[in-house]
Structure 1
Amino acid sequence: MHELYNMTWEEVAAAVKSGVDTAVLPVGATEQHGPHMGCGMDTAIAHRLCRDVAADTPVILLPTLPYGCSIGHSKRWPGTMALNPKTLIDVVSDLGDWVVSSGIRRLIMVNGHVTNAAPLRCALEMLRARHDGFMVALVHTAQISERVKKAHHDDAEDWHANHAETALMLALEPDIVRPERLADADDPDRTDGCVFSHPVNRTSLNGVTGTPSTATAEQGAQLYGWMRDDLTALIQRAVSEESPLEHSYFRSVLSDAL
């Protein structure tokens, strides 16, 4: 496996020269996950999933980013450590510049936290506009495929620290879960019919939305197997993908006529 954390610069250069020119950036978050689960859940799933998939695909695995855009969780519950959206955009777009400078042609951001989506999409837009031909993708761990998405939304539309996330951690990182708190951790989704997007302090009593009490390690293992298989298949397609057309980002059609 090509894990940047353990590679020398010569090994990175050799990997790129040999054709390993796709990088994977896991992006997590550090935020409250109710009374029953540790604050590192989003980072744990992004890191574990990407590391396992990188072992089976020709990619360079970048170090996991453990902070994200979690400001919607408010300061009601201690433990959330958040970046503002513009900060996350800058961090990821800066990292992307350095990815390009290493000779890498493709970057796949694998996001483990729902509200990282908008900043990461902005970073994607900036990177592909700055670097002609640089291909950037954004994949959300809870939306890798339809079956993965359905499993995450089974107990709540506006879910958090719910059945799916708790089951995943019971299977993969059991030390992050407090089993004795599961029985009273459930809290319903109160956002049905809402026009506004309310912060979590105004939608949840305990930081949870969903039914973590129903989660089992067996369910988590099955869900993780789907996530791993489906992300592996996606990345295997990505490593050889080329853009449909080769037109320059910076060259106008007016220039073509000259």
Structure 2
Amino acid sequence: MKTNMMAEMTWVEYRSRLKAGGTTVLLPVGALEQHGHHLPMGTDHLLPTAICKAIADRIPAIVAAPIAYGYKSQPRMGGGNHFPGTTSLDGGTLTLVVRDIIKELGRHGVKQLALMNGHCENLFFAIEGIDLALRDLRYEGITDLKIMRFDYWDFTTQATLDQCFPNGFPGFALEHAAVLETSMGLHVFPELVRMDELVDDPAAVFPPYDVHPARQSWVPQSGVLSPARGASVEKGKALFNEYVDRIANAIREEFVEAV
């Protein structure tokens, strides 16, 4: 069986792929977080994993098992951690999980690693995990691991945003369980999207600051921060293909052409 998924390989197959050289390991990092009434709670790791799998069909790459839990959901990004089902890690825990996985990959002989984030709140904990892992590996004499880190949505072009939002893009800040994620879900895992359960709340309005403890009244009861009306399979396919194309090209440039 030919597979690019690390979890589906035997250790012998994995070792052989790494020894052949030129293979990038893709590590999806997401979350288990509410995504309204219509999207599955695993959206933030299901989407980057699917993108990674498609990239691995184009370039020499192995997709590591995703980190399916992320940092605590924040009201102005993901609705907040108070929703049942949202299951989060402390920042220090996520940092150490990222660190430990990268250290193990370095020990395996991985030279090229691309960490794809699918949950906004993970950003700096993932960066810290990378930094600590590289520092520890240097102490162990492993200095040839190179890492890319990115949020997949940063590869969205203005042309695709114009296609998805003919009346103007409201911004990524409110795109939680809204048009982009819903459209991607309709393309990647249509069987898990409950469009008949879509709640058409108005977009959330937040002040330019946070309050602790979090003020739950700021967040729409559905958990969706911006209306998902207008989402479609066609938009999801356009987004997905753009991410696969542009990220695969970026990996080629960083790990192949830069050598």
Pick the TM interval, shorter chain: 0.7 to 0.9
Is 1:155–2:161 an aligned residue pair?
no
Equivalent residue, structure 2, for 1:189? 204
Identify the match of residue 151 of structure 2 among 140, 146, 157.
140
Is 1:173–2:189 an aligned residue pair?
yes
Are residues 118 and 204 of structure 1, via their aligned partners in 2, closer, same or farther at CA, if it must alter by over 3 Å? same
Secondary structure, counterpart of 1:65 in structure 2: coil
User: Please, what TM-score do these two structures have when normalized by structure 1?
Assistant: 0.84
In 2, Cα distance between equivalents of 1:67 and 1:107: 20
- Between 1:15-24 and 1:222-231, the stretch displaced more is 15-24
How far does the alpha carbon of each residue in 1:153-180 deviate from its partner, in whole angstroms, 9 at most, with x for none?
A: 9234422111111111112211222112
Bigger CA radius of gyration: 1
Which residue type is aligned with residue 7 of structure 2? Y
- What's the offset of the Cα at 1:128? 2.4
In 2, Cα distance between equivalents of 1:44 and 1:147: 24
Query: Size of the alignment, in residue pairs?
Result: 241
- What's the offset of the Cα at 1:147? 3.8
How far does the alpha carbon of each residue in 1:41-69 deviate from its partner, in whole angstroms, 9 at most, with x for none?
A: 11110111101111111122111221111
Gaps of 5+ in 2: 138-142
Is 1:77–2:83 an aligned residue pair?
yes
In 1, Cα distance between equivalents of 2:73 and 2:186: 26
Is 1:11–2:17 an aligned residue pair?
no
Secondary structure, counterpart of 1:138 in structure 2: strand
The two structures, once aligned, show a CA RMSD in angstroms of 2.4
- Between 1:6-15 and 1:145-154, the stretch displaced more is 145-154
Q: Name the % identity.
A: 25
In 1, Cα distance between equivalents of 2:224 and 2:136: 39
Equivalent residue, structure 1, for 2:92? 86
Is 1:96–2:109 an aligned residue pair?
no
Which residue type is aligned with residue 118 of structure 2? G
Are residues 64 and 75 of structure 1, via their aligned partners in 2, closer, same or farther at CA, if it must alter by over 3 Å? closer
Secondary structure, counterpart of 1:121 in structure 2: helix
Gaps of 5+ in 1: 244-258
How far does the alpha carbon of each residue in 1:67-120 deviate from its partner, in whole angstroms, 9 at most, with x for none?
A: 111342444321101111111111110011110111111211111111111111
In 2, Cα distance between equivalents of 1:148 and 1:96: 35
